[in-house]
Structure 1
Amino acid sequence: MSWGLIREMGHVAIQTTDIEASIADATGLLGLRVTEQAGREVYLAAAAVHHELVYVESDTNGIHALGLVARDGDALREIRRRVEAENLPVISDKPLGGVQDGFSFIGPEGWVFDIYTDPQPHRPGALSFGPDRYGHVNLHPRNVRGMMEFLARVLDFRLSDVIGDDFAYFMRCNADHHGIALIQGRGTFHHHAWQTQSIADLGKLGDRLNRVGRELIWGPVRHGAGHNIAAYYVETSGAVVELYTDLEQVYDDTRPPVKWGAEENWWNMWGSYRPEEFRTFGIPPVSNRR
């Protein structure tokens, strides 16, 4: 259910210096399926769509684009009008494959956004251990308030939770508590997150990591902001991957944002421990997509 211009989170596209290892992580650890390989791009999904994750072979690790699905053609045109009114550079009238219509632009701090309608469906193969769908991302912009205001003003995102005084904002485009979470940082992308059905799936993820000599970097934890149960690991590109379940749903769009103190325990309702290095992981945006 969407109240604004964006219907749902679409995809995350990541440039990687080791595309084979990245694909192995996504299929063997997370449980996604490859839907298409086209040139230097590999498309993967959990849901019955063409793609939710894209890896782009590159000589650098970074975020290629963040994909958002517009509500309809009128919403797509309105977003285009707002982008042009803000003098944000439109870099393509043809987003990544598997979509009907859309465009790409460079937003604040160099983040590239792919806005499109009607993602191409893709029939999944045999069921495996993979998640249900792609859910949200976490960014660490330098100007966290500026990014929050951009997402609200141009893309119609709503505030769900506010942490401290311009420290963090959790924002939604539909009933999911957050599609984009913003935490004050150094201009990097922290994690992409995938919804699964049960906390047992988080334990199985830990087992899969252990079998190949990898490990969870945090979790399972029960977040205060969003209420989801989550576990995290680092993928080959340097980005963090979250597997989560039981995310809060916000059906009343008039609900005021929940406010937390910066030092109030909004990060883990089961304990106060946070690994010191957790927020040091991440990769930057790459606005030069040639």
Structure 2
Amino acid sequence: MSWGLISEMGYIGIQTTNIEASVWDATQLLGLRETNRADGTVYLSASDVHHELVYVESDVDGVDTFGLVARDGYALRAIRRRVEDEGFQIISERPRGLGIEDGFTFVGPENFVFEIYIGMQQNQASFKSFGPDRYGHLNFHPKDVTGMMKFLHRVLDFRLSDVIGDDFAYFMRCNPDHHGIALVKGQGTLHHHAWETQSIADLGKLGDRLHKAGRELIWGPVRHGAGHNVAAYYVETSGAVVELYTDLEQIYDDNRDPIIWGQDENWWNMWSSYRPEDFRKHGIMPVVREPKNLLR
């Protein structure tokens, strides 16, 4: 169910200097499956679509693309007009990679790149092993957090679910999921991409896999106040954080007023006031690929 022009979160694209290590993390730690690879790009998925995570081989580690699914062809064209009216640079008039029927890509505020699309190919998993059910949301830290919030609302029809402090953080939704995009004021980085699983037990199994690999959780499990999800976090090879979560709040009242939290009120963990001091220091910067290098 979606009231606006964007119906769901689509995929996260990341540039990585060690693509095989990144793919290993995604398949052996998180539990995604590889669906395709071509020209230095690897596509991975948790659900029955062509991709929900894309790694692009690069000489830098950084954010490549935020992929968002338009409700239909009309919505795709409407967003295209809004992007033009706002004066944002369109860097591709057609899908940049494999598995997508139609779409366009533009450079949004603070150099974050968005691909708006429809018609992703299905890719049915032959069987279900461990791993999440789907890609759920992302969290990034723009310098102008209120400006980014207004852009997501004005151009892409996202709505506010929770507001944290004054010009500090916003949780925004495009469908009943409490948030598809969370914004926290910061240094212009992607902090984490998040994946929905069925049970809190899966978070424990993730911790076990990390331990066997000589890695560790950097926080969690925790029960967030904003969104109510139970979550655990680790750092992947690129430097981005990965969240595995369950039990996210669903909002079926399209006109529900946002919940307001004080910045120092405990919106981050209903089980404890503890937060790792370096948790928000992780993340990767956006990197804009030149049009001549885009997949055709």
- The answer to whether the superposition gives a TM-score over 0.5 is yes
Question: What is the rounded CA distance, in whole Å, between the counterparts of 1:161 and 1:55 in structure 2?
Answer: 31
Distance in structure 1 (CA, Å) of the matches to 2:194 and 2:261: 22
CA shift for structure 1 position 94: 2.0
> What is the number of equivalent residue pairs in this alignment?
290
Question: Counterpart in 1 of 2:82?
Answer: 82
Q: Which residue of 2 aligns with 1:272?
A: 273
Which blocks of at least 5 consecutive residues in structure 1 are unaligned?
A: none
Counterpart residue type for residue 198 of structure 2: Q
CA distance in structure 2 between the aligned counterparts of 1:35 and 1:231, rounded to whole angstroms: 26
Q: Tell me the secondary structure at the aligned position of residue 252 of structure 2.
A: coil
| CA–CA distance in structure 1, aligned partners of residues 55 and 141 of structure 2 | 21
- 1:151 paired residue number: 152
Partner of 1:260: 261
Q: Which residue pairs with 1:105 in the alignment?
A: 106
1:281 aligned partner? 282
Matching residue of 2:50: 50
| 1:21-60 pair list within 5 angstroms | 21-60=21-60
| Structure 2 unmatched runs, 5+ | none
Stretches (4+) displaced over 6 A: none
* Partner of residue 216, structure 1: 217
Which residue number corresponds to residue 160 of structure 1? 161
Give the TM-score of the pair, scaled to structure 2.
0.97
Opposite residue 44 of structure 1, the aligned amino acid is L
- Whole-angstrom distance in 2 between the partners of 1:240 and 1:84: 32
Partner of 1:10 in structure 2? 10
The structural deviation recorded for 1:146 is 0.3
Instruction: Give, in angstroms, the shift of residue 216 of structure 1.
Output: 0.1
Aligned equivalents of 2:120, 2:275: Cα separation in 1 = 37
Q: Which residue of 2 aligns with 1:228?
A: 229
CA distance in 2, matches of 1:134, 1:252: 23
Deviation at 1:99, TM superposition (A): 0.8
Query: Which one-letter code corresponds to 1:76 in the other structure?
Result: L
- Paired with 1:93 and 1:125, the residues of 2 have a C-alpha distance of 33
| Deviations 1:184-237, CA, capped at 9 Å, x for gaps | 000000000000000000000000000010000000000000000000000000
How high is the sequence identity, in percent, across the aligned residues? 71
Residue identity opposite 1:274 in structure 2? R
Q: Report the AA paired with residue 254 of structure 1.
A: N
State the one-letter code of the partner of 1:163: I
Please identify, of 118-127 and 18-27, the stretch whose mean Cα deviation from structure 2 is larger: 118-127
SS in 2 for 1:209: helix
Q: Distance in 2 between matches of 1:230 and 1:210?
A: 17
**Offset, 1:125:** 2.1
Amino acid at match of 1:280: K
SS at match of 1:153: helix
Q: Secondary structure at the match of 2:271?
A: coil
- Normalising by structure 1, we get a TM-score of 0.99
CA–CA distance in structure 2, aligned partners of residues 156 and 239 of structure 1: 26
The Cα of 1:275 is off from its aligned counterpart by 0.1
Q: Which amino acid aligns with 2:273?
A: S
Equivalences for residues 117-128 of structure 1 within 5 A: 117-128=118-129
Match of 2:61 in 1: 61
Post-superposition offset of 1:74: 0.2
Distance 1:142 1:29 in 2: 31
Aligned to 1:137: 138
Determine the C-alpha separation between the residues in 2 that align with 1:239 and 1:204. 21
Which AA in structure 1 matches 2:135?
Y
For residues 32-81 of structure 1, give each alpha carbon's deviation from its aligned partner in whole angstroms, at most 9, with x where no partner exists.
00000111100000000000000000000001100000000000000000
Q: Deviations over 1:252-275 (max 9, x none)?
A: 011000000000000000000000
